[in-house]
Amino acid sequence: MKIQNWRSERVKLTMSMIFQEKARGEVKEVVGDEEVTTEAICQLVYIDMIVRETIRLFPVGPLLPRISTEPIELTSCTVPEGCSLYMVPFATHRDPRYWNKPEEFIPERFTPENSKNRHPFAYLPFSSGFRSCPGSKYGTMCLKVFVAHVVRSYHLESNMKLDQLQLHTHISTRSSDGYKLSIKKTNN
């Protein structure tokens, strides 16, 4: 399945110098030239927000399938036992009932103040409950470490327009034709 005219999943950081500079400043302040440790990653609040916002717009898993184990009463119908159900984080994460300006990349929507009144199931990049992804914390930590290392040492640029990006979904969501980036070493 192809999803056209959506934005790139993992390269959102490259689309705005503001986000890169703010993230780079945070890494320099918290980590400096030292090793990126678990303790340091936990202090990189802005990078955490960037990663969450990227995953909000482009969750790795496009569908979260379930099968009802008993009838479920909804407002307008009853879902019978044994029925296949699919949660679509890609759509839920863009629902204007839960997200102000849902198509925009706004990391600050994940500040504690902006998150406190949000519905608990409005953000499901790794599912939820006992069937949530067992690797979600590890995967998120790896992304934060990766972003911290990249913004500390490199400046990323892309001439690609957001509406030129096309996504392809299969087991995960990714760009149909790759990512066109320019990577330059920073002047540290």
Which residue ranges form the domains of the chain, and what is each CATH number? 2-61+105-185 (1.10.630.10)
Model confidence at 113: pLDDT above 90: yes
**77 is known to lie in a ligand binding site:** no
Q: What percent of the chain has pLDDT over 70?
A: 89
Residue 58 or 123, more confident: 123
Residue 14 or 28, more confident: 28
pLDDT at 178: 78
Q: Which two tokens stand for residue 126?
A: 């790794």
pLDDT at 153: 92
Burial of 181 (0-12, 13-18, 19+ CB in 10 A): middle
Residue 131 or 80, more confident: 80
Q: Which of 27-31, 172-176, 183-187 has the highest mean pLDDT?
A: 27-31
The residue written with tokens 């202090």 in the block is 43
Model confidence at 30: pLDDT above 90: yes
Per-residue pLDDT, averaged over 160-169, amounts to 72
Model confidence at 140: pLDDT above 60: yes
